[in-house]
Amino acid sequence: MNKSRIFLLLSLSFIFGIGMRSFFEIPITFILWGTIISIALLAIFWKNRTAIIVAFFILFFILGIFSLDRRMNFFDDIGLDGKNIEGKAIIVKEPENKDGYQKIVAKLESKNEKVLINTSSFEEYFYGEELYISCILEISKNKDDSFDYKMYLAKDRIKYICNKAKIEKTGNKNNNKIYAFILKIKNNLEKNIFQSIPQPEAALANGVLFGGSSAMSKEIQDSFSRTGMTHIVAVSGYNVTIIAEYFVLLGIFLGMWRKQALWFAIFGIFLFVAMIGFPSSAARAGVMGTVLIWAMKNGRLSNSLNAIIFAGAVMLAINPMLLRWDIGFQLSFLATLGIVLFSPLAEKISLKKFNPLGFSEIIFLSLCAQIFVIPIIMYNFKTVSLISILVNVLVLPIVPISMALSFLAAISGFFLNPVWNIFAWLAHLPLYYEIEVIKFFSNFSWASVGVDNVNMFLIVVYYLALGSGLFFARRIGNMKIKD
């Protein structure tokens, strides 16, 4: 077994350990015995390479279990549950608007606890503002078994929620000046979009640029869901990869060598993540996209599995709760993994000969990503679109165009009157096309079907079958398709 394979399996052992603890209670005796056995193997068979490798596999597996087990102690201290608190709090994250109310994540100055405050949208709040709040803290509760809201908040170290808070602004600010400046630019760009592009196209422009569908009407959101197109308004490794691909094409168009264009794409990823305010989901997606571009730069796209798995393991070492309770991480990781594992097929097909602008490659890699994320979407949203592939083929080539024109419309909004913003007029055309195509296909009664019986066992079987198929296809040469 070579060093590369050992490195990959050690990373996977750590991830599997976290996965095991995510779904099962692991007794402390199991952790102790696993540690003892691995140390014994190292001590007794220290000259045997195979024994040493097995010992480290066990150690990394145990380390994965222990890392999540330590984070699961988060709810051991719930002394503030049901208590009325009064005091100062600092908004530590950009507030999020949701259907007539807003979510504010604030850190209590006296208790050193993060709290999720649900309040009305009548008052506008900003990152870094100091508030004086009075409310009764509650441990978040799950409405049903379909979504573990309690653990979803816990992954961000949020233990308590406050639904009926009395809030006063103190007028003080305590923020990161650079981050606050970035958010201010982002907010102004959003305002420019809504002032220069009519609805519902403005909401889509905002979604494809900054992520999120909250500005869309319920009808439009349902249409996107029924056609499997919600991913174009979500920041994931898949989206970042598509953005990077077009930065590569732009770099080549500007006269760069391919490796220079890849560095240009990495800069583009950083610029994109910065532009939308460095949310954690975008930062993780940016890491995945950067790793993929790095693999392309070194000419090892089809052999970059180690880099993707290692990047995932590092992010899980920082926050092991992401693996089960953060769908954004799951989609980013799996979509990027799908692109990497299917990339040899894209190389063999020579997709660019079908479309010199790279649209064929974008569509193919997007569909590869879809194959890897479909089970996660079915498990979390209990639905699957039967026409997703067709709608993706019709819409995806246009998305980068609408993104570029929407961005130019947002930037030019600082200099041009909204009525005379030529880029807004141009952006409206592809945005209108995307919405109309999605609405048209969503009207078919069979566009999507509910799936209530998807469980974790079926998901594991799906990925094992998919992985086995890819493995044997490579072994027997089925991936070597002739030009």
Spatial separation of the C-alpha atoms in residues 57 and 11, rounded to whole Å: 9
User: What average pLDDT does the segment 44-71 reach?
Assistant: 90
HSE (side-chain half, CA atoms, 13 Å) at 255: 0
Ordered domains of the chain (ranges, CATH): 3-73 (no CATH), 84-175 (2.40.50), 203-476 (no CATH)
**Stretch among 50-59, 83-92, 284-293, 326-335 having the lowest mean pLDDT:** 284-293
Whole-angstrom CA distances from 252 to 159, 245, 246, 248, 287 are: 48, 11, 10, 6, 23
Q: Are the C-beta atoms of residues 192 and 407 closer than 8 Å to each other?
A: no
pLDDT in the model for residue 479: 47
Residue range 146-166: average pLDDT? Answer: 86
Q: Provide the β-strand partners of residue 166.
A: 134
User: Residue 199: phi, psi to the nearest 5?
Assistant: -80, 150
pTM score over 0.85: no
- 287-305 pLDDT, tens per residue? 887 877 776 666 555 557 8
CA angle 461, 463, 467 (to 5 degrees): 120
The rounded distance, in Å, linking the Cα atoms of 164 and 346 is 54
Give 334-370 pLDDT, tens digit per residue.
888 887 887 666 556 555 554 544 566 667 777 777 8
Position 481 pLDDT exceeds 50: no
